[in-house]
Every structure is written in C-alpha cells, then in structure tokens.
Amino acid sequence: MTHHDLTLIERLAGVAPGSPVGRAFRARPEARAQSERCYQLLLFPEVAGPVSLLERRAVAAFVAALQDEPETRAHFLALLRQTDPALAPLARLIAHEADGSAHPGPYGAFPEGPLSAESLDGPVYVVDDATRLELGERLSAALEHAHLLALHPRDAGPEALEALLSAGWTRDGIVVLTQVIGLVSFQVRVVAGLRSYLAARQASLLAAE
C-alpha cells in the first residue's frame, strides 16, 4: 500500500486524503495500515487453509448486510460476486437472508442477578430447510453463528461451537470464522462513524456560511 492508495475504510467512508478528517485518519498511520492489513489477510489470504475464500467472503457479506450501512454492504456483496462470476445467485441469497433476519441490536440475556433487568429478547436466526439445501450445512451453520455474534454476542455459548463442529467446522476454522465476523464488525463501525461525522460536519459548515 503506497501513501497515495486509499484504504478500504477511507474508500467506503468517503474520506478524501487532503480533507481535515482524512488528515486526522492519516495521523494514525499504524491503525490505518494495520486495519487494511487485517482486511487483506482475512479476505485475500495467500492460503485459505481451513476456511475457503468463498466462505470467508460469504460470511463477511452477511455480517455487513445485517448492519444497514449501504457502502459496506455493497462492497462485501460485490467482493463475494467477484470471487467467481457463478456466485451471483449466492450473493443474492446472502443479501436476502440478511434482510430477512436483520434486527436492531445488540440484544441477549444477562446472567441471573443484578443485570437480569438489562436482558433483551431478540430473534435467533435459523436457516430454513430450503435455504439450507442451497447453502449446505457448513455455510448455513456459519451464517447462524455470524448472526449470533453480530447481533447478540452475549448469548454465545459452547453449544454454538458444538453446532459448528457438527456441521464440519474445525477449531482453526472456527477461529478464522470468528476473526472474519470481528473484522467486519470493526470496519462497518469505522465507516459508519466517519460517514455520520463527515455528514454532520458538512451540515454545520453549510449552516455557518
């Protein structure tokens, strides 16, 4: 990555390099570069290992599509389609599943005690039988897990990992899967935060004129 290249975050957030916010982001060169490196390592791995490129990008697209941040959603769905032109129907299916299961978050249960009152009910996503046939057991289990960690992570338990192992996931695969879910959860928030700040900044500049 050269100095003049924009990182994914800058592209999706619409941060121009010479703008005040762009300069502030570049005043954090290590955070900027390592964010991009994490993205490259998880979504463009030299060796896919226990999680295929298709699986990494399908899960990333699903997590992004659950968040209602249009640029990030469009980017990760496009990345999935670019993996193989034959994957366009899969990308449509992923978007459809995300739209059908999106819900405001975070929610989930707290342990019995002083926090019980803060427990918040919400849906548990289960892939239906017809979709499961199309996606296969492995990817279906991965999307169910991604929904859990994206929207109600405090409901995660060892039984969620049992479900992944039963669907054919390995330990190392589960860790990669969790890292992909985490990365997209991070990126979408930097993009959404910067975009909303840029919009508010623009509005107050206009109001001051």
Of residues 37 through 96, those in contact with another protein by CB under 8 A are 37-38, 41-42, 45, 49, 66-69
Q: Which of 105, 132, 138, 167 binds another protein (CB under 8 A)?
A: 105
Q: Which stretch binds another protein (CB under 8 A): 79-87, 92-100, 134-142, 147-155?
A: 147-155
Cα–Cα distances in angstroms (integers) from residue 203 to residues 39, 190, 195, in the given order: 31, 20, 12
Token digits for 17?
């390099």
**129 binds another protein per the rule CB under 8 A:** no
Q: Which of 12, 25, 59, 140 binds another protein (CB under 8 A)?
A: 25
Q: Which stretch binds another protein (CB under 8 A): 74-82, 85-93, 127-135, 155-163?
A: 155-163
Q: Which stretch binds another protein (CB under 8 A): 24-32, 80-88, 89-97, 125-133?
A: 24-32
Q: How far apart are CA 203 and CA 209, in angstroms?
A: 10
**121 binds another protein per the rule CB under 8 A:** no
Strand, coil or helix: 73:
helix
| Residue 169 C-beta: closest distance to another protein, Å | 8
Q: Which stretch binds another protein (CB under 8 A): 76-84, 87-95, 123-131, 185-193?
A: 185-193
Q: How far apart are CA 178 and CA 172, in angstroms?
A: 10
Choose among 39, 69, 36, 22: nearest CA to 179: 39
Nearer Cβ to another protein (90/177) = 177
Contact 157, 111 (CB under 8 A): no
| Residue 202 C-beta: closest distance to another protein, Å | 11
**150 binds another protein per the rule CB under 8 A:** yes
| Residue 40 C-beta: closest distance to another protein, Å | 9
- Angle, CA 180 vertex, CA 179 and CA 181 arms, to 5°: 90
Residue 180: left (phi > 0), alpha (psi -120 to 50), or beta?
A: alpha
The residue type found at 136 is G
